[in-house]
Amino acid sequence: MRRTALTPPRFAPVRLPVRAPACDGLHMPAEWEPHAGCWMAWPCPGPLWQDALEPARASYAAVARAIARFEPVTMLARPEDAQAAATLCGAAVPVVPAPIEDAWMRDFGPTFLVDGAGGVAGVHWLFNAWGHTYDEPTHDDGVAQLILSRLSMRRYAAPFILEGGSIHVDGQGTLITTEQCLLDPRRNAGMTKADFEELFAAYLGVRKVVWLGEGLEGDDTHGHVDIVASFARPGVVLLHRCDDPDDHNHAVYQDNLRRLELTTDACGRPFEIITIDQPARVDHGGKRMDLSYINFYVANGGIVMSAFGEPGDKLDRAACETLRRVFPGREVVQVASLDIFRGGGGIHCITQQQPTGRPLPPF
């Protein structure tokens, strides 16, 4: 995703294991349901950030402090970076030393599940760095297991590759994703929509998958849905809008809008679609950045979202007002995020919510 890729291996479809989370009554809850806390990972030195490492760290710390106003935040950091991370994040954000290589907790961290009776477990997806392999070793494929072990929480090892940013759920059986990302042969070559729908039913308790088309131009993940669309509540979808017919993202928007208009959720409800205009274009390193207001974090009683312009920017203000209307009763906090997006993602990409509940014991 963010470094020079080698020729990827081929991953064949796999059979379901004997036991999957749905067998134990588990499902993935919506992001607006109560949280025990939030997990993040600290930006590491390397080719991703180059000279922008310190600004990125300052922005990550600002996001962590903003979320910590609403719920606990735990930051993983390399042992040699832990003290600097603790200084920038402040006393409200504990820092845990860990062997990390990158800083995108949404994608390589666990996806948490609930059983409806107060129990919480986690799925550990296979992770191959957004469909690529690299010369250098990576530890990020083990971060999910590290977190679940620290929590003494049950871990379900999934038999396929997935990143958390490629899916969004409403907590009532509906999942939204993109064909561009999930059908990418660099991840799970040979797998079909039907294969994914079966796996999502088994691992996330999903009854219906809504397939959008593509992600945004400039998205190094090749189609993550969390910069294109997200659920605001059951039956309501927030959608990234581009009205400029000369912009590549206009065709993306029109196609995804049509798909949403022609389908329903798992309960048979037609979607209410609320659009948010895309931010002004910004290029970095000779390519377009995939800026989006859709990529926000829902906290207990709050929304932490991106700002891209100068204070008072018209588009920033309009997006903020939309989220205030959509999430009444939650305080909306904007954090300057260009230095995060320069690495290839946004606030939703660098966070992972842990639902409230008692950890189910490991097998």
Residue 11 in any domain: the answer is no
Q: How many CB atoms lie within 10 A of CB 317?
A: 14
Here the tokens at position 321 are 């007002």
Supply the pLDDT for residue 50.
82
CATH number of domain containing 146: 3.75.10.10
Q: How many CB atoms lie within 10 A of CB 363?
A: 8
Supply the pLDDT for residue 51.
85
Here the tokens at position 52 are 């922008």
Q: What is the CA radius of gyration of the chain?
A: 19
Does this model's pTM top 0.85? My answer is: yes
Residue 147 in any domain: the answer is yes
Supply the pLDDT for residue 11.
40
Residue 296 in any domain: the answer is yes
Closest by alpha carbon to 39, among 109, 86, 99, 92? Answer: 109
Residue 284 in any domain: the answer is yes
CB 123 within 8 A of CB 20: no
Q: Which residues contact 26 (CB under 8 A, 6 or more apart)?
A: 113, 114, 115, 119, 121, 156, 205
Supply the pLDDT for residue 139.
66
Residue 17 in any domain: the answer is no
> Left, alpha or beta for 56 (phi > 0: left; psi -120 to 50: alpha)?
alpha
Here the tokens at position 235 are 């039956």
Supply the pLDDT for residue 140.
86
Residue 116 in any domain: the answer is yes
Helix or strand holding residue 77 (H, E): strand 73-77
Supply the pLDDT for residue 191.
97
Q: State the Cα–Cα distance between residues 344 and 340, nearest whole angstrom.
A: 7
Supply the pLDDT for residue 47.
80
Q: State the Cα–Cα distance between residues 187 and 82, nearest whole angstrom.
A: 32
Q: How many CB atoms lie within 10 A of CB 280?
A: 12
Q: Quick one: 250 exposed, middle or buried, by C-beta within 10 A (0-12, 13-18, 19+)?
A: middle
Closest by alpha carbon to 342, among 293, 290, 265, 268? Answer: 290
Question: Rounded to the nearest 10 degrees, how much is the dihedral formed by the CA atoms of 189, 193, 195, 197?
Answer: 140
Classify the C-alpha dihedral 112-263-235-274 as positive or negative. Answer: positive
Quote the Cα angle for 143-145-149, to 5°.
120
Q: Based on the structure, what is the number of domains in the chain?
A: 1
CB 175 within 8 A of CB 181: no
Q: Where are the alpha helices (DSSP H) in the chain?
A: 53-68, 82-89, 105-108, 143-150, 179-182, 185-188, 193-204, 248-261, 314-326, 338-341
Q: State the Cα–Cα distance between residues 349 and 226, nearest whole angstrom.
A: 8
Residue 20 in any domain: the answer is no
Strands annotated E in 98-223: 111-114, 119-126, 155-161, 168-169, 174-178, 208-212
Residue 230 domain boundaries: 25-357
Supply the pLDDT for residue 1.
38
Residue 228 in any domain: the answer is yes
Q: How far is CA 83 from the centre of its chain?
A: 26
Residues classed as catalytic: 349
For tokens 């926000």, name the residue. Answer: 296
* Average pLDDT per consecutive 10 residues, the chain (363 residues; last block may be shorter): 38 55 97 98 89 96 98 98 98 97 96 98 94 63 96 97 98 98 95 98 98 96 97 98 97 98 98 98 94 98 97 96 98 98 96 98 94
Supply the pLDDT for residue 138.
62
CB 3 within 8 A of CB 47: yes
